[in-house]
Structure 1
Amino acid sequence: MNNTIDSLKWRYACKKFDETKILSEDKIDILSEAFNLTATSFGLQPIKMLIVKNKELQKQLMTHSFNQQQLSTASHVLVLCIQDYFTLEDIDKYFDLEKEIRGTSEDIIEKYRKQLKGIFSNKSTIEKQESAINQAYIALGNLMTVCAIEKIDACPMEGFNAQKFDEVLDLKEDSLKSVLVLPVGYRADDDFMSTLKKVRKPVENTVIRK
């Protein structure tokens, strides 16, 4: 097996982190860049990531996630968020950024700009939010793979009260909604889950080749 597969086999949903081991800023920078480089629909990036290092905040978040200790024992807690409202102005900002970075002329992108605005004009707020949530899951998967390669333990979580998280983290102030959580750090020696074998179907039962 190659190193990537070995890393994925090493990965598991960490249930207890070693509170004495803190991720370096270099590791946090890698996760930040990995999030930012995640593929999104049309490249519009309607998602953001909040990195919570403050232990008091982590403990508050734990109370709104069924007291799952991963939230309080993790080195950092990554909260994946979507924009509450995605506007046509956001599309303009994307194309302005493309012009700045690539030097693309307006003549070339004008048609595509109008096309995207037309697509999003016909979407309801709920439809745009649902699309952004789907993209947050792509980012989560990307982060989990990068964590495995970097030997960073993680635990993907949906089981939390998003409304309470938004309140604790003042997300409404930034027009954001929390949708997924990923505590990260290093596994505790006494996390019994770390020694269990993975339970997976044989690959030939999950992958079809034609």
Structure 2
Amino acid sequence: MSLIQALNWRYAVKRMNGEKVPQEKVNAILEATRLSASSMGLQPYTVLVIEDEELRREIQKVAFNQPQIVEASHLLIFAAWDNITEEQVTEYINQMATERGVAPETLNDFKSSLVGIVTRNTPEQNFQWAARQAYIAFGTAIAAAATEQVDATPMEGFNATALDELLNLKEKGLRSVTLLPLGYRDEANDWLANQKKVRREKEKLFLQVA
């Protein structure tokens, strides 16, 4: 299945059937998410992978009781770093040096540039930037799930403050941004399952600038 075919196949599933997604498919989706684009490669977010049914029932309570959360096989929570620190930048630079086989000192200019950005910003500005980076990975995960023919429902409808408290995310330096249940559509009970996909016409969506 091509990417275009996969994107035509996918939709925001409203009901799932509880069937487990094979681990190799989950792993492929997570690996695509790990390889997603990120500004400067920093990836200032964490993706929580939740299978536990009891915990998902608790999460459902702070997500307007959306059924997909408990009907899914897995729930991904994209959580951005609450702030970005010089220590986190240093850790990233050291990883880059190790993986590329270079001395960390050769990356000092890049490090200084990145440190300058995050220290110039307020913590809230850093969080907002991190959240936008999380959204890039979120989109990659949605597309990756489609190529695996795994259904996924992008969700912003939840009480982020309550979810962060439930999962102790503040103590981890994280704030929840989006949810992504993974599973399989329940066509018999999903009113959207057989509806035609509606998207803006390309002539209106794309503007060719000379």
Which of 83, 106, 123 is the aligned partner of 1:108? 106
User: Which amino acid in structure 2 is aligned with residue 93 of structure 1?
Assistant: E
Conserved? CA contact 1:154–1:184, under 8 Å: yes
Tell me the equivalent position of 1:74.
72
* CA distance, structure 2, for counterparts of residue 38 and residue 89 of structure 1: 23
Q: What whole-Å deviation, never above 9, does each CA across 1:164-203 have from its counterpart, x for those lacking one?
A: 1112222223221111001110101311211000112221
Tell me the equivalent position of 1:159.
157
* CA distance, structure 2, for counterparts of residue 84 and residue 71 of structure 1: 24
* CA distance, structure 1, for counterparts of residue 78 and residue 172 of structure 2: 13
Which of 58, 66, 85 is the aligned partner of 1:87? 85
* CA distance, structure 1, for counterparts of residue 119 and residue 168 of structure 2: 28
Question: What displacement does 1:3 show?
Answer: 2.1
Question: What displacement does 1:101 show?
Answer: 0.5
Conserved? CA contact 1:82–1:176, under 8 Å: yes
How well do the aligned residues superpose, as a CA RMSD in angstroms?
1.3
Moved beyond 3 Å, runs of 4+: none
* CA distance, structure 1, for counterparts of residue 5 and residue 94 of structure 2: 42
* CA distance, structure 1, for counterparts of residue 17 and residue 127 of structure 2: 35
Tell me the equivalent position of 1:182.
180
Give 3-state SS (helix, strand or coil) of 2:121's partner.
Answer: coil
Question: What displacement does 1:107 show?
Answer: 4.0
User: Which amino acid in structure 1 is aligned with residue 152 of structure 2?
Assistant: A
1:1-210 to structure 2, matched below 5 A, reads 3-19=2-18, 21-190=19-188, 191-209=190-208, 210=210
Conserved? CA contact 1:51–1:79, under 8 Å: yes
Q: Give the TM-score normalised by the residue count of structure 2.
A: 0.94
Give 3-state SS (helix, strand or coil) of 1:194's partner.
Answer: coil
User: Which amino acid in structure 2 is aligned with residue 182 of structure 1?
Assistant: L
Conserved? CA contact 2:50–2:76, under 8 Å: yes
Q: Give the TM-score normalised by the residue count of structure 1.
A: 0.94
User: Which amino acid in structure 1 is aligned with residue 22 of structure 2?
Assistant: S
* CA distance, structure 1, for counterparts of residue 12 and residue 113 of structure 2: 41
Gaps of 5+ in 1: none
Give 3-state SS (helix, strand or coil) of 2:14's partner.
Answer: coil
Residues paired across the two proteins, number: 208
Paired-residue identity, %: 36
User: Which amino acid in structure 2 is aligned with residue 143 of structure 1?
Assistant: A
Q: What whole-Å deviation, never above 9, does each CA across 1:57-95 have from its counterpart, x for those lacking one?
A: 111111111111111111111000011221001111111
Gaps of 5+ in 2: none
Conserved? CA contact 2:80–2:177, under 8 Å: yes
User: Which amino acid in structure 2 is aligned with residue 184 of structure 1?
Assistant: L
